[in-house]
Amino acid sequence: MALAASLKEADITAALAACAAADSFNHKEFFAKVGMSTKSADDIKKAFAVIDQDKSGFIEEDELKLFLQNFSASARALTDKETAAFLAVGDSDGDGKIGVDEFAAMIKA
Ligand SMILES: [Ca+2]
């Protein structure tokens, strides 16, 4: 995976293990554990481009739901509840999707 290449495998494993149970995903904890909180703005833009699978320039709800699978193909999908909560945190302009600036703000918050 393109995202995994810029992160430590052990960090990804630990971050995914911490949210293995349904409804246990916490974006702040995940971004910190996986090592994204300390990444440069440029690296965060690259990560955004991977998660934005259809290259629409936004992370939509369906892409957000499969967020964890960008880190490991065998990771679970987020539950509807987690996806909605994640979107609500990131979507500061209320357009129902997450832009690159909103994504960066969420990681650095
Ligand atoms: Ca998209």
Is residue 77 exposed (0-12), middle (13-18) or buried (19+ Cβ within 10 Å)? middle
What is the rounded average pLDDT of the residues 39-57?
Answer: 95
Å from CA of 50 to ligand 1 middle = 10
pLDDT at 1 over 60: no
Percentage of residues of the chain with pLDDT beyond 90? 93
CATH code of the domain covering residue 96:
1.10.238.10
Number of domains in the chain: 1
Percentage of residues of the chain with pLDDT beyond 70? 97
Q: What is the full DSSP assignment across 83-108?
A: HHHHHHHH-TT-SSSB-HHHHHHHHH
Question: Which pLDDT score, from 0 to 100, does residue 56 have?
Answer: 98
What is the rounded average pLDDT of the residues 10-27?
Answer: 97
Instruction: Tell whether pTM > 0.85.
Output: yes
Residues annotated in a binding site for Ca(2+): 52, 54, 56, 58, 63, 91, 93, 95, 97, 102
Structural domain of 84: 2-108
Residue 54 pLDDT grade (very low, low, confident, very high; cuts 50, 70, 90)? very high
Residue 59 pLDDT grade (very low, low, confident, very high; cuts 50, 70, 90)? very high
Beta bridge partners of 59: 98
Q: Which residues surround ligand 1, an ion (CB under 5 A)?
A: 52, 54, 56, 58, 60
pLDDT at 108 over 90: no
